[in-house]
């Protein structure tokens, strides 16, 4: 059984702790056939006692899900940063860097983080990360086609669907 706690923090180390740090934090338990049911129950009760949200999934389901909502964003943000880093046009790069604001900061944050973490995720969850990247490329290709074809109605519909669907992921 693995136990994973999801709590995004910008600060690190002991000094970053505070009262209520784990309140409403998401934890996932990934029991296997070999997991002791009493241990799963005990750890579940401990997590609930800290006012945390608890999820349970198989290790396979966990790895597939986190490749979509945790690992993929790291690689997308990294590609975004690399795309904006227009090395062959210094004046465009200078202007882009001056104009970059909250939208770029929000979408690129995880790509500017711990590179060792990204490498470890790619190594240890390679198949799921690759599947997620391919799925994303397919979705991006659809958007690209809609823009090329000037299919503004369907593009608008896709953007509205994304806006609506985002609420299912963000509390």
**Range 59-171 classified under CATH 1.10.3660.10:** yes
Tell me the whole-structure pTM to 2 decimals: 0.83
CA distance 50 to 66: 23
Residue 144 has pLDDT above 90, yes or no: yes
> Would you state the pLDDT for residue 9?
53
Write out the E strands in the chain.
Answer: 2-6, 26-30, 53-56
CA distance 3 to 57: 11
| 26 closest CA partner among 52, 46, 60, 65 | 52
Per-residue pLDDT tens digits for 60-101: 999 999 999 999 999 999 999 999 999 899 999 999 999 999
85: left (phi over 0), alpha (psi -120 to 50) or beta: beta
Domain edges within the chain: 1-57, 59-171
Q: How confident is the model at residue 4 (pLDDT cuts 50, 70, 90)?
A: low
């Amino acid at each position: 059984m693995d136990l994973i706690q999801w709590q995004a923090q910008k600060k690190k180390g002991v000094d970053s702790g505070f009262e209520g740090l784990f309140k409403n934090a998401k934890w996932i338990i990934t029991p296997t056939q070999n997991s002791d049911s009493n241990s799963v129950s005990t750890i579940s009760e401990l997590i609930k006692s800290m006012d945390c949200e608890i999820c349970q999934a198989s290790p396979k389901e966990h790895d597939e899900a986190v490749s979509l909502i945790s690992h993929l964003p790291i690689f997308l943000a990294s590609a975004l940063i690399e795309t904006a880093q227009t090395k062959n046009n210094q004046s465009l790069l200078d202007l882009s860097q001056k104009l970059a604001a909250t939208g770029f900061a929000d979408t690129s944050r995880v790509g500017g983080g711990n590179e060792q973490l990204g490498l470890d995720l790619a190594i240890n969850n390679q198949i799921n990360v690759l599947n997620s990247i391919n799925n994303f490329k397919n979705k991006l290709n659809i958007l690209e086609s809609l823009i090329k074809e000037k299919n503004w109605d369907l593009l608008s519909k896709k953007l509205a669907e994304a806006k609506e669907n985002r609420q299912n992921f963000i509390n």
